[in-house]
Amino acid sequence: MLEISNISKLYKHNDQWSEVIKDVTLPIADREFIAIVGPSGCGKTTLLKILAGLLEPSSGKILLDGKEITAPGKDLGLVFQGFTLFPWLNVWENIAFGLNIRNLKQEEVVKTVNHYLTVTGLKDFAEYFPKDLSGGMQQRVAIARTLANNPKILLMDEPFGALDSQTRSQMQEFLTRLWEAEHKTVVFVTHDVNEAVFLADKVYVFSPQPTEIKKVFNVPFPRPRTHALKRTKEFFDFSNQVAHEFEQ
């Protein structure tokens, strides 16, 4: 269980403090996929950084299984917007990077990297360098690299934001299948209401700054989900309700 407990964050700008996040409490159950949608600048990235232990909150706590998180650790894996691969390493080496740092046995590294190459459909591209891959492929490598470290929780900040809409749809289906297979806890930040509803079990709508939780929606659609879902009236109606809350 991951608990965001009474988190507030103030930033200082020209000697003036402004409150970005105001007393956010949000419990995330194991293996739950939650999405956060909120207007630009409301503090979503700030909250994810606090969750990851990269940034200190002004008050409140992050608890993982009852223990406070104060520094980055291997329980949390991050995937951010943009493609943060190492350009001088090929796909195989990018995925192996974190494993090699941890001094695992070479057999183990090979097994894990091969597994995630298969899972992400990149087996034929192991020797490619990032510059020779499409955006969607690069983002799959980034996800594979994060998953290879076996984090309990995946934190994703607009991971598909830079992709064209068709690739984005494919990546959403890919992530759904991956989640259905691996059942990690996922915290997924996006501007895109349809994306949030398609992927998540729960959608949290955040207010403009200072951010509070405006509303929580339990997504009623069963899994496995495919893109056909997006064309149903039920999906359209439900997404509209969320969008209405988001835009108000």
Ligand X SMILES: Nc1ncnc2c1ncn2[C@@H]1O[C@H](COP(=O)(O)OP(=O)(O)OP(=O)(O)O)[C@@H](O)[C@H]1O
Q: Which residues bind Mg ion (CB under 5 A)?
A: 45
Q: Nearest distance from residue 181's CB to ligand X, in Å?
A: 29
Q: Nearest distance from residue 80's CB to Mg ion, in Å?
A: 9
Residue with smaller CB distance to ligand X, 41 or 73: 41
Phi, psi of 79 (to 5 degrees): -130, 115
Per partner kind, with CB cut-offs from 5 to 8 A, the member of Mg ion, ligand X, none near residue 98 is: none
- Take residue 43 and report the two structure tokens written for it: 């503090």
Q: Are strands 33-37 and 185-190 parallel, antiparallel or unpaired?
A: parallel
Q: Are strands 202-206 and 213-218 parallel, antiparallel or unpaired?
A: antiparallel
End-to-end CA distance of the chain: 31
Q: Nearest distance from residue 159's CB to ligand X, in Å?
A: 12
Per partner kind, with CB cut-offs from 5 to 8 A, the member of Mg ion, ligand X, none near residue 236 is: none
Q: Nearest distance from residue 158's CB to Mg ion, in Å?
A: 6
Per partner kind, with CB cut-offs from 5 to 8 A, the member of ligand X, Mg ion, none near residue 11 is: ligand X
Residue numbers at the binding site for ligand X (CB under 6 A): 11, 13, 20, 38, 40-46
Residue 118 CB neighbour total at 10 angstroms: 11
**Spatial distance between the Cα atoms of 2 and 151, rounded to a whole number of angstroms:** 13
CB 17 within 8 A of CB 28: no
**173-206 in b/e burial notation, b at 16+ Cβ within 10 A?**
ebbbebbeeeebbbbbbbebbbbbbbbbbbbbbb
Per partner kind, with CB cut-offs from 5 to 8 A, the member of ligand X, Mg ion, none near residue 43 is: ligand X
**Spatial distance between the Cα atoms of 39 and 122, rounded to a whole number of angstroms:** 34
Residue with smaller CB distance to Mg ion, 2 or 20: 20
Per partner kind, with CB cut-offs from 5 to 8 A, the member of Mg ion, ligand X, none near residue 42 is: ligand X
Residue with smaller CB distance to ligand X, 207 or 239: 207
Q: Nearest distance from residue 45's CB to Mg ion, in Å?
A: 3
Residue with smaller CB distance to Mg ion, 45 or 114: 45
Residue with smaller CB distance to ligand X, 11 or 236: 11
